[in-house]
Amino acid sequence: MKMPLVIIGSGHAGYTLARAFRQHDTSTPVVVLTEDGGEYYSKPQLSHGFGHQTSAAQLIQNSATGMAAELKIMVRPHTRVTAIDFAAQKITAGAAQIPYSDLVLAVGAKPFVPPIEGDGAQDILTLNNLEQYRRYFDTLNRSEHVLVIGGGLVGTEIAHDIAQHKRVTLVDIGSRLLERLVPEPVSQRLHSVMDQVTLRFGTVVARIDKVAKGYSVTMVDGVKLTVDAIICTAGLKPRLDLTAGLEIQRGIVVDSYLRTSQAHVYALGDCAEIEGQILPYLQPITLSANALASTLAGKPTPVHFGPLPVAVKTPRYPIQLAGLTQGSNLDWQINEGDDGLTALAHRDNKLVGYVTTGSRNGFSLLPTLMR
């Protein structure tokens, strides 16, 4: 009997790979193992589901059983892989040992929560899967005042979203929202549109103590506030708990063919560091899955990434960006009208990135960035 292709993880990376592989090969058995419920859902919806009062159940587009039937694969939900024997080409999940012909790690990332003192710190919410969304949704619905830690992409999106129904304070160590993604004038416009959110910059949360009703939060600068819920969006770290025997740096190190340092073992998605880059977005994951599916079907194919467009889901002030938009050595040209703003980033007189806002759309500039 043919050994299966084994995929660990049922997120965008795992399922997109399984789907792409089935387009090349309908006979090799494919097994997807996942420690979660194996439901198919769109993770970007997590950051704007609360505003629409969409429950976790409503976000699910297909069940594990439905995915198995649709893709003609085996899906084993609630199955945590605990060890990999690279020499024998088999994995351990509970009492089971499963052999593989090829193994793909699509294990994603874990939310990073900075060290915070106090007995309330253990109740900090994070938002990186359906289970976490369930807790976030229920807790926020019982809350009046919510603290968001982190003003990057996800923190900005959820603060904007939650503020439709709740009082929100956002705290960030930097000096403005999206500091590492957009030039200052774009952040300033966003701040004025998000005037219903209290923004606190240049400080961090030092401790969180449980009080009779909610939490008392103390910042390092001594400022105190009382909130009912705290959500941390301070970033994600690739999951590296299955990597003994693999080369790792910030993520699982892979080349442009998504090959790890072990034969027949590949990685993609939020857990992978592809030629030095971690690209935790859907489009690079889809490109990686398509290339890897061809490779696994017998046609070695490297992945190529052009400049990746990113949309910030802040409907009151929509923002799109692509290419290089951070770094002090960029020369920005900004023009603004009633329909929005266009910021072009140049380096050595060459267009290297852009940010557009409002109804302006920078997609026509993408081919220029690719040159």
Ligand X SMILES: Cc1cc2nc3c(=O)[nH]c(=O)nc-3n(C[C@H](O)[C@H](O)[C@H](O)COP(=O)(O)OP(=O)(O)OC[C@H]3O[C@@H](n4cnc5c(N)ncnc54)[C@H](O)[C@@H]3O)c2cc1C
For binding to ligand X (CB under 6 A), which residues are involved?
A: 8-14, 33-36, 43-44, 46-47, 80-81, 106-108, 127-128, 154, 239, 242, 269-270, 280-283, 285, 313
Structure token digits, residue 339: 């329909």
Give every strand in the sheet of 197-201, ordered side by side. Answer: 197-201, 167-172, 145-149, 229-232
Q: Closer CB to ligand X, residue 214 or residue 266?
A: 266
Using CA atoms in the order 231, 80, 281, 103, what is the torsion angle rounded to 10 degrees?
A: 170
Q: Closer CB to ligand X, residue 156 or residue 214?
A: 156
Q: How far is the CB of 34 from ligand X (least distance, A)?
A: 4
Q: Closer CB to ligand X, residue 81 or residue 103?
A: 81
224, burial (CB in 10 Å: exposed 0-12, middle 13-18, buried 19+):
exposed
Q: How far is the CB of 339 from ligand X (least distance, A)?
A: 23
Cβ atoms within 10 Å, residue 215 = 23
Q: Closer CB to ligand X, residue 4 or residue 14?
A: 14
Q: Closer CB to ligand X, residue 13 or residue 214?
A: 13
Q: How far is the CB of 356 from ligand X (least distance, A)?
A: 16
Q: How far is the CB of 8 from ligand X (least distance, A)?
A: 5
Q: How far is the CB of 282 from ligand X (least distance, A)?
A: 4
CB 201 within 8 A of CB 117: no
Q: Closer CB to ligand X, residue 217 or residue 279?
A: 279
Beta-bridge partner residues of 215: 210, 227
Beta-bridge partner residues of 169: 147, 198
Contacts of 312 (CB under 8 A, 6+ apart): 153, 156, 157, 178, 181, 318, 319, 320, 321
Contacts of 261 (CB under 8 A, 6+ apart): 246, 247, 253
Q: How far is the CB of 55 from ligand X (least distance, A)?
A: 16
